[in-house]
Structure 1
Amino acid sequence: MAINKRRMAELKGKSVFPERSAAAEFRFRSQVICLNETEKAQFEGIADPAAFGSTRAVISTIFHELTHWSDMVGTVWGRRHLRMVHSAFGVLNSIRVQGVEKQFWKMIALHDAERRLMLPKYYRVQEGKGQLGSPQDSRIDFSGGIEFDTSGKQNPERPILFVRFYGSGSFFIRQPLVVGALLETTAVWSELKTGLEIASTLQNGADSVEKAFIDVELRNLLEDPDLTIYTAPARMVSFFAGISDYNRVYELAASLAYLCLNLSERDFNKLRVPEVMRVWGKRNDAWKRNMDPAYAFAAVCLNAGRWTVGSTVESWIDSGLKKSGLPSAAALREAAIVAMEADDNLPASLWIGQGTYLLTAGLASARARLQGQEPALTMSLAVAEGLPLPPIIDSNCEVGKLAFSTFDYDEWEPVEMFDVECELDDAVLNILSACR
């Protein structure tokens, strides 16, 4: 079976987590991964990393998208969000049944929750002339705002934390710090680590050349003024920790981001913010009630402070966690697994079986990523742990499978779930036209 090409074309570029290029995208509602520039022959049946030596971008991009998938089905935050998706799926079962309109709000709630993951362009401000440059060469501070509700009024229960980047000259960017930025940070780290693994298989000096290319790509990403929606967490770590090594920056940022995606309600209640964030008063309470992982990331990052001689990734993060009133990173990782093992129920729908299997696969990926001190999802980890990674849709809209995956393809069907996403998209747009 293959995905409907017409519907794929209609939805292309409209995913909740828009990518930096058109190479690939993760379909949030269906959990389908789509490769827009790669055919399955380029990856299907290949289990040796060295086979990707001349096509590093292919497997690196795949693991970028697989990290989005893993963060959705294998973190405390993601599984909470997945329940909202399946709650909306449940409305589709009986959308024309009399009285079901009382449940339409579930589709609107999902739409609003998705909207907040990146926030509309309105909230991002870019002014002046100059260059953003490296985090070490610029200045960073914060400001607070409030989200507009559907009536155009400010909603004090939905505060927004802005990171303000000052470049050279009069250049200025005000960037909302959002959950989507954390998700991009963990995905870039997986992409980077996978690329370095592939480069290490090259011989006769080609490995050094390829690693140099990777360094340039990472620098271009982190210093691009148009990409702060993706790079804000990493730029914050570089600036506040005082680190110029971009590989170390992304390791720290991704490790902290992944922990924040796994915080519990109790953790948010205990969170102590640094003095600079206390100026917002009761808005801090609203951020905690909303269990905003990006807000927690900012608090721990600022509390962790400067990187010092003898610091490690774990010690730097633990320092920030301790000052934030939170358990150690090791304790948080252990608690996340316990929480996901105990909370595996989804709202009833025709697709609960497929959704439940994704939770099972997601828990396997979470256990693998949480067993160490950094959360990269890489080809070597997938092979070593025998991870159940999902099928992938290629550029011809055909289903491709990873040779090293243990995923049960009878339990989850990407073509069917893509069709369900299309049906839900139509239903959401229809009800939005009635109330917005």
Structure 2
Amino acid sequence: MAINKARMAELRGKSVFPERSAAAEFRFRSQVICLNEFDIAQFEGIADLADFGRARSVISTIFHELTHWSDMVGTIWGRRHLRIVHSALGIVTSLKMAGMETQFWKMIALHDAERRLMFPRYYRVQEGAGKLGTPKDSIIDFSGGIEFDTLGRQNADRPILFVRFYGSGSFFIRQPFVVGALLETTAVWSEMKSGFEIAATLQNGAGVVENALIDAELRSLLEDPDLTIYTAPARMVSYFASISDYRLVYELAASLAYLCLNFREREFNKLRVPAIMHVWGRRNDAWKRNMDPAFAFAAICVNAGRWSAGSTVESWLDGGLKRSGLPSTAVIREAAIVAMTAEDDLPPSSWTLQGSYLLTAGLASAKARLQGADPSLTMSLAVAEGLPLPPIIDSNCEVGRLVFSTFDYEKWNPEEMFDVEYQLDGAVANMLSACR
């Protein structure tokens, strides 16, 4: 089996959620994972973690992208977004049928939902010269804005939370604090944990070297001013919790991010924001109505405050949740599973059966990741829990499978899903030219 190479080349780099690395990408519309720099021989058939040995980048990249997949099909936010995707997929093969014009708005609704994952470049401002330095030692605060609607007017129902970073000299960055940043944070944490697992299998000091390389990569990531759109959650945790240990920073940020991705409507309704956010008044209510996980992250991160001696990840989270008027992490995790289990089926279409199977697989991954505060998705967890992880497309557009996955490949076809994504891409672009 293989994906059409010409179509892949045409869509490559056009992902609605641009990755910080070109090594791989997760396609939010089709839920297809593409490895741009690795081929099947580097991962297919390998069942022992130690066999990846010196190839840490392979397994780390795979589980980075699998975390994006799991966050899409195995969190309350992701499954809500998946319904928007399937609403558009359901009409894409029937666009020329009489009367279908009344359904074209679904493609625009998808476009608007996707653009909010990261927001266009317009909303990010970078001024001055200098360096941001370490997150703990730089200055961070917030500001509020309002999204422009399709007519170029401000839409009070769609406020934007901006995070501002101040560096040395006159250096300044202001950017939207977005769901995409939470998704990148959980994926980076899985990538790191996968690297730690590889390092633990190495002998004769090689593991020490590998761990040092991971720490250096993490430092480079967190201190790069061009990547703050991805690293904002971790930088915020480092600043507000006053932590300089980057591993701990990422574990806390990823744990809080995953928790917020699993908030139900009632968590948003009960959320009590810190004093520094009171200035926005009714905009806070709009953020809650929009069920914005990034807004919830910011509020709880500030409320959680400084990390203290004797703290654990869960106690730090629980402290922030309590001061935010919310129940404990354990209660929220359990409620999320109950809510996902009780969801309605996807609306009927040509893609309902495949989408429904992804929701089943996603629920399995959610149950594994919600067992404790640590949301990382790694090979050891996948093997221990017998997780159904999807096929992966390699650099030659061939479909590869993870030997330890229990995924039912008869129930979800990546080639078909990629093909319908290709059709949807053209249809959305065409529709946008008609009304935007």
Fold shared, TM-score > 0.5 on shorter chain: yes
> How far is the alpha carbon of 1:230 from its aligned partner?
0.5
In the alignment, does 2:278 pair up with 1:282? Answer: no
2:131 — aligned with what?
A: 131
Which position in structure 1 is the counterpart of 2:184? 184
Q: CA deviation at 1:95?
A: 1.3
Q: How many residues align?
A: 436
Separation of aligned partners in 1, 2:5 and 2:344: 33
Match of 1:72 in 2: 72
Residues 162-177 of structure 1: pairs in structure 2 closer than 5 A: 162-177=162-177
Measured after TM superposition, the shift of residue 93 of structure 1 is: 4.0
TM-score by length of 2: 0.99
2:268 is equivalent to residue 249 of structure 1: no
| Aligned counterpart, 1:159 | 159
Matched, 1:353 2:353: yes
Deviation of 1:213 after TM superposition, in Å, equals 0.3
Counting only pairs closer than 5 Å after superposition, residues 95-110 of structure 1 correspond to structure 2 as 95-110=95-110
Taking the aligned partners of 2:387 and 2:5, their CA distance within structure 1 comes to: 29
* 1:265 alignment partner in structure 2: 265
Instruction: Write the letter of the residue equivalent to 1:69.
Output: W
CA contact (8 A) 1:344 1:356 kept: no
TM-superposition CA deviations, 1:78-107 (whole Å, max 9, x none): 000000111111112421111111111111
For the Cα contact (< 8 Å) 1:393–1:400, is it kept in 2? yes
Asked if 1:111 is matched to 2:119, the reply is no
What SS class does the counterpart of residue 136 from structure 2 fall into?
helix
Paired with 1:94 and 1:129, the residues of 2 have a C-alpha distance of 52
CA distance in 2, matches of 1:198, 1:57: 10
Q: Counterparts of 1:54 and 1:16 in 2: how far apart (Å)?
A: 32
State whether residues 136 and 239 of structure 1, in contact with CA within 8 Å, keep that contact through their aligned partners in structure 2: yes
Whether 2:23 is the aligned partner of 1:43: answer no
Report Cα offsets for 1:354-386 as digits up to 9, x if no partner: 000000000000000001221000000000001
Residue by residue over 1:241-292, the C-alpha shift from the partner in whole angstroms, topping out at 9 and shown as x without a partner, is: 0000000000000000000000001111111000100100111111001000
Q: Which residue of 2 aligns with 1:217?
A: 217
Per the alignment, residue 234 of structure 1 pairs with 234
What is the rounded CA distance, in whole Å, between the counterparts of 1:400 and 1:65 in structure 2? 14
TM-superposed CA distance for 1:344, in Å, is: 4.5
The letter of the residue matching 1:123 is Y
Secondary structure of the 2:233 match is: helix
Shift of 1:175: 1.6
What residue number does 2:420 align with?
420
Once the 2 structures are TM-superposed, how far is the Cα of residue 150 of structure 1 from its aligned partner? 0.8
Retained in 2: the 8 A contact 1:146–1:159? yes
**Identity of matched residues, %:** 80
The amino acid of 2:427's aligned partner reads A
Map 1:136-155 → 2, pairs under 5 A: 136-155=136-155
8 A Cα contact 1:87 1:348, kept in partner: no
Query: Counterpart of 2:33 in structure 1: which amino acid?
Result: I
SS at match of 2:142: strand
The CA distance in 2 between the partners of 1:303 and 1:399, in whole Å, is 45
Cα shift readout 1:271-315 (whole Å, capped 9, x = no counterpart): 100010010011111100100000000000000000011111000
The AA in structure 2 aligned to 1:25 is E
Question: In structure 2, what is the equivalent of residue 303 of structure 1?
Answer: 303
Residues 328-358 of structure 1 show CA distances to partners (whole Å, capped at 9, x for unaligned) of 0000000000000001411221010000000
Query: Match for residue 401 of structure 2?
Result: 401
> 1:85·1:110 contact (CA, 8 Å) conserved in 2?
yes
Unaligned runs of 5+ in 1: none
Return structure 1 stretches of 4+ with deviation > 3 angstroms: none
Would you say the 8 A contact 1:44–1:402 is kept in 2? yes
What is the TM-score when the length of structure 1 is the normalising length?
0.99
Give the C-alpha shift of residue 215 in structure 1.
0.2
Letter in 1 for 2:423: E
Paired amino acid for 1:365: S
1:156-191 deviation digits (Å, cap 9, x = unpaired): 111010110001111110021000000000000000
Q: Structure 2 unaligned runs (5+)?
A: none
Does the CA contact (< 8 Å) of 1:93 and 1:349 recur in 2? Answer: no
Rounded to whole Å, the distance in 2 between the matches of 1:273 and 1:372 is 25
Q: SS of 1:135's equivalent?
A: coil
> Which whole-Å CA distance do the structure 2 matches of 1:10 and 1:370 have between them?
37
Check whether the contact 1:165–1:172 (CA below 8 A) recurs between aligned residues.
yes
The 2-side partners of 1:60 and 1:90 are apart by: 34
One-letter identity of the residue aligned with 2:69: W
Question: Closer, same or farther in 2 for the Cα pair 1:358/1:344, shift >3 Å?
Answer: farther
CA RMSD of aligned residues (A): 0.7
- 1:335 aligned partner: 335
1:26 matched residue in structure 2:
26
For the residues of structure 1 that align with 2:396 and 2:374, how far apart are their CA atoms? 35
Code of the aligned partner of 1:170: S
Distance 2:332 2:225 in 1: 34
Partner secondary structure for residue 137 of structure 1? coil
Query: Tell me, what secondary structure is at the counterpart of 2:280?
Result: coil
Q: One-letter code of the match for 2:363?
A: L
Aligned residues of 1:143 and 1:161 also touching (Cα < 8 A): yes
Q: How far 1:199 moved relative to its partner?
A: 0.6
